[in-house]
Structure 1
Amino acid sequence: MKGKKILALLIALLVAVSMTACGSSGGTSEKKEGTSKESAASFDDMVKKAKGTTVTFYGWGGDDLLNSWLDDYFAPRMQKKYGIKMKRVPMNIEDILSQLSGEKQSGKKKSDIDMIWINGENFKTARENGFLYGPFLDKLPNYGKYYNAKDRENNYDFSYPIKGYEAPYGKAQVVFEVDRAKVKSVPTDTKAFAEFVKKNPGKVTYPAPPDFTGSVFVRNVIYDICGYKQFQNMKADKETVRKAVEPAMKYLKSLNPYLWNKGKTFPESSQKADKMFADGETIFRVTYDAYDISKYIENGTFPKTADSFQFKKGTIGNTNYMAIAKNSGNVAGAMVAINEMMSPEVQLNRYEKLHTVPVTDNSKLSKAQKDAFAKVDLGKGTIPQAQLLSKRLPEMPSALVPIIEEIWEEEVAGK
């Protein structure tokens, strides 16, 4: 959490210096950002302009299967179809934001970054500091053809207005997992989960926030105990939030004596927690990737008896997005690549190969396209897509997330 605060402060200071040095040219008005040559050009013109260029795609590189898919499927497709070379640059989003901030402060005219994998509070930070190009979403043909412009997740990212500054990339939704050979019945709410933890002392844990997965587990517990509607328009005031989440924090604190290492420490990352589950050290796993269990069963990482479940009231889901750096040297190429990533063909291939929940609107697909998506075998241990999405809960506003993480550190972890 301290690292996030330092990064946010650094970004604010650098942007302030940049705006002082550059005067009005450093402004972030949407009118100025939306009147570039790329915005005014037709999509066909962008395709022609992008031919023979390279597009850099910056984002978290910790998913080996996704990395392989981008390198072995999407990059060759872009080269063959458009003559565009895709260069994947693995980098944590905090470092991406820091780089964008440094480039802006130095007055660099062309960023090394074109496309960015982003969402949540990181999008809010990037947007408010003028790091992103746009609006561009409504200029992408595939968005108009295959997406519902009224869908909340195409308009709000963690309740923060998108306003065309990012395009949907993939959907995520929380599921819980156990080994059915060791667990006969799964908890369907937080009350039952407490009993589950007590019956299996030392065998349950979750990653420590601000790890992305650990943080959403805490928010899901809050929703189950406190409801979710009150948070959607809640003021980002720490004491207001503290009062609202108090019952959930007391609940989480009460679990500590029965958790792995008696709740004195928590796994520092979801990768560490996943390994503990795979090794049998723990019997419970939480993940944002609703269908990754099947690939882990298939490659032998998880036992064949691993299975997914949700709470009765539902689990949190969100969309992750693609954005473009404000000073990208290849806006046209980035827009062509993003448009292609949003195509039904590419989304279907991701669904088949990576089991990523597609972002296309099923009602806008042809019968043949619908049938192709319906035929995808999601593999063992997964929840059917219709059932999964029927229990999809909205994310909290991004401004509340770091506040909740701070409160968890103070009241649950006791740091």
Structure 2
Amino acid sequence: MNKLVSTLSILATAYASGTFAESSTNDHWTQIKQQAEGQTVYFHAWGGSQEINRYLQWAGKELQSQYGVTLKHVKVTDIAETTTRLVAEKAANKNTGGSVDMVWINGENFKSMKDNELLFGPFTQNLPSWEFVDKTLPIDVDFSEPTEGLEAPWGVGQLVFIHDSESLYNPPKSFSEMLSYAQAFPNKLSYPRPPEFHGTSFLKSLLIELTKNDATLQKPVNEDDFQTLTAPLWQYLDKFHKVAWRGGKQFPAGTSETIQLLDDGQIDLAISFNPNAVYSAQASGKLADTTKAYALESGALSNIHFLAIPWNSNASAGAQVAINFLLSPEAQSRKGDLNVWGDPSVLSSQYLSGSAKNTQQFKSVGEPHPSWQAALEKEWLKRYGS
């Protein structure tokens, strides 16, 4: 009887102190690691940056050597392509053995995947690396949509412009100044062609300035609000395109092309969603040492970008191990290294090393509701896409 009482007492103490729960969590993670060994994770992610591609190659080598997990980077131009594929698999009742194991997403695509029940989880708080994440960042929402543990934060994005301080000492500090500059110096400014991510971000940031960040932008879009609020946007673009690079008849394909055009002297401002991209471009010889990144006076359109796992992943254990590694101090410190990628980290700085500890960030401007993105892209293509 005394033994029984003693055992119950020990168990009660373990529960009260959290030791039992911690042991259970450790056992759970050990099982996931065992299941992950030998799995191949097909990771759908944007492939338009050599720096990012090289970083993922490094991560793949580390995952293979440390965990026996093979990471295959499936390079996509727009993650919406992957969303379409997953919707088709859902419609065909392919609930196991899916072709996608992990995705790099945010905003509109996250909401679409969540609404269509295409996501595995919640899983984030089961990751051992979760303890390192900076919980003061807005990791609980993605473009105003609650994440609910269905995606893990990976990095911080901010819309910035890059200029050569030797040829453009005092760059435009607002979109109003940008239009004046374009009219004074025709053929020297542009932006990526929507629906490319950076091009659409340019539109959203411009709309926020023109509407003084109207509260309606935080709500699901409706036709009447859209027509009223976007009228100044199209008026602005009609003027801007007349004096833009190539007369607004052609647009750069993405951030990499704007950086190339800046380096070639064809345009005076490149665009990026990484405030530290200028450093990695300088390190690889793509930009002069005199180039600098800056945000507009009102701040930089900002968001967290995330990693998620489809509901029918063929390697959900491997994907969890991969995401956990990508959130580790080792991987986040390398990702934040200004000579590697320079992507601002989602970890508390105390866990970071090297230049990742001090990556540059600007004053933040929040994203509109994700429904505005599709509406803006559709209208832009209708007006300027042909």
Taking structure 2 as the reference length, the TM-score comes to 0.85
Deviation for aligned residue 1:65: 2.0
In structure 2, relative to structure 1, the CA distance for the partners of 1:94 and 1:223 (3 Å cut) is closer
Alignment match of 2:109 (pick from 102, 122, 126): 122
- CA shift digits 1:46-95 (9 cap, x unpaired): 12222233222222222222222222x21222223222222222234233
Deviation for aligned residue 1:323: 0.7
1:25 aligned residue: none
Asked whether the equivalents of residues 238 and 403 of structure 1 are also in contact (C-alpha less than 8 Å), the reply is no
Matched, 1:56 2:42: yes
In 1, distance between residues paired with 2:132 and 2:193?
A: 38
Asked whether the equivalents of residues 159 and 232 of structure 1 are also in contact (C-alpha less than 8 Å), the reply is no
In structure 2, relative to structure 1, the CA distance for the partners of 1:53 and 1:262 (3 Å cut) is closer
* Structure 2 counterpart of 1:356, one-letter code: D
1:132 aligned residue: 119
1:11 aligned residue: none
**C-alpha RMSD over aligned residues:** 2.4
Matched, 1:355 2:353: no
1:176 aligned residue: 161
In 2, distance between residues paired with 1:41 and 1:334?
A: 18
Q: Secondary structure at the match of 2:162?
A: strand
2:378 aligned residue: 406
* Structure 1 counterpart of 2:33, one-letter code: V
Asked whether the equivalents of residues 39 and 69 of structure 2 are also in contact (C-alpha less than 8 Å), the reply is yes
Alignment match of 2:63 (pick from 78, 86, 90): 78
Deviation for aligned residue 1:171: 1.5
Asked whether the equivalents of residues 189 and 311 of structure 1 are also in contact (C-alpha less than 8 Å), the reply is yes
**1:227-246 alignment runs, 5 A limit:** 227-228=212-213, 230-246=215-231
Q: Secondary structure at the match of 1:87?
A: strand
In 1, distance between residues paired with 2:92 and 2:26?
A: 28
| % identical aligned pairs | 27
Deviates more, 1:228-237 or 1:57-66: 228-237
**1:176-325 alignment runs, 5 A limit:** 176-228=161-213, 230-325=215-310
In 1, distance between residues paired with 2:148 and 2:246?
A: 45
In 2, distance between residues paired with 1:407 and 1:142?
A: 42
In structure 2, relative to structure 1, the CA distance for the partners of 1:235 and 1:291 (3 Å cut) is same
In 2, distance between residues paired with 1:231 and 1:279?
A: 40
In 2, distance between residues paired with 1:377 and 1:49?
A: 34
Deviation for aligned residue 1:397: 1.2
In 2, distance between residues paired with 1:345 and 1:59?
A: 21
* Structure 2 counterpart of 1:123, one-letter code: F
* Structure 2 counterpart of 1:112, one-letter code: S
Structure 1 residues without counterparts, runs of 5 or longer: 1-38, 379-383
Deviation for aligned residue 1:267: 3.1
Question: How many positions carry a matched residue from both structures?
Answer: 358
Asked whether the equivalents of residues 211 and 229 of structure 2 are also in contact (C-alpha less than 8 Å), the reply is yes
1:165 aligned residue: 150
In 2, distance between residues paired with 1:61 and 1:319?
A: 18
2:7 aligned residue: none
Asked whether the equivalents of residues 242 and 407 of structure 1 are also in contact (C-alpha less than 8 Å), the reply is no
Asked whether the equivalents of residues 100 and 310 of structure 2 are also in contact (C-alpha less than 8 Å), the reply is yes
Q: Secondary structure at the match of 1:220?
A: helix
Q: Secondary structure at the match of 1:227?
A: coil
In 2, distance between residues paired with 1:339 and 1:191?
A: 43
In structure 2, relative to structure 1, the CA distance for the partners of 1:310 and 1:251 (3 Å cut) is same
2:30 aligned residue: 44
Deviates more, 1:125-134 or 1:263-272: 263-272
Taking structure 1 as the reference length, the TM-score comes to 0.79
Asked whether the equivalents of residues 217 and 372 of structure 2 are also in contact (C-alpha less than 8 Å), the reply is no
Deviation for aligned residue 1:254: 2.2
1:107 aligned residue: 93
In 2, distance between residues paired with 1:181 and 1:255?
A: 24
* Structure 1 counterpart of 2:342, one-letter code: H
In structure 2, relative to structure 1, the CA distance for the partners of 1:330 and 1:265 (3 Å cut) is closer
Structure 2 residues without counterparts, runs of 5 or longer: 1-24
Matched, 1:68 2:54: yes
Asked whether the equivalents of residues 172 and 289 of structure 1 are also in contact (C-alpha less than 8 Å), the reply is yes
Q: Secondary structure at the match of 2:234?
A: helix
In 2, distance between residues paired with 1:184 and 1:91?
A: 36
1:392 aligned residue: 364
Deviates more, 1:248-257 or 1:286-295: 248-257
In 1, distance between residues paired with 2:43 and 2:166?
A: 42
Deviation for aligned residue 1:377: 9.1
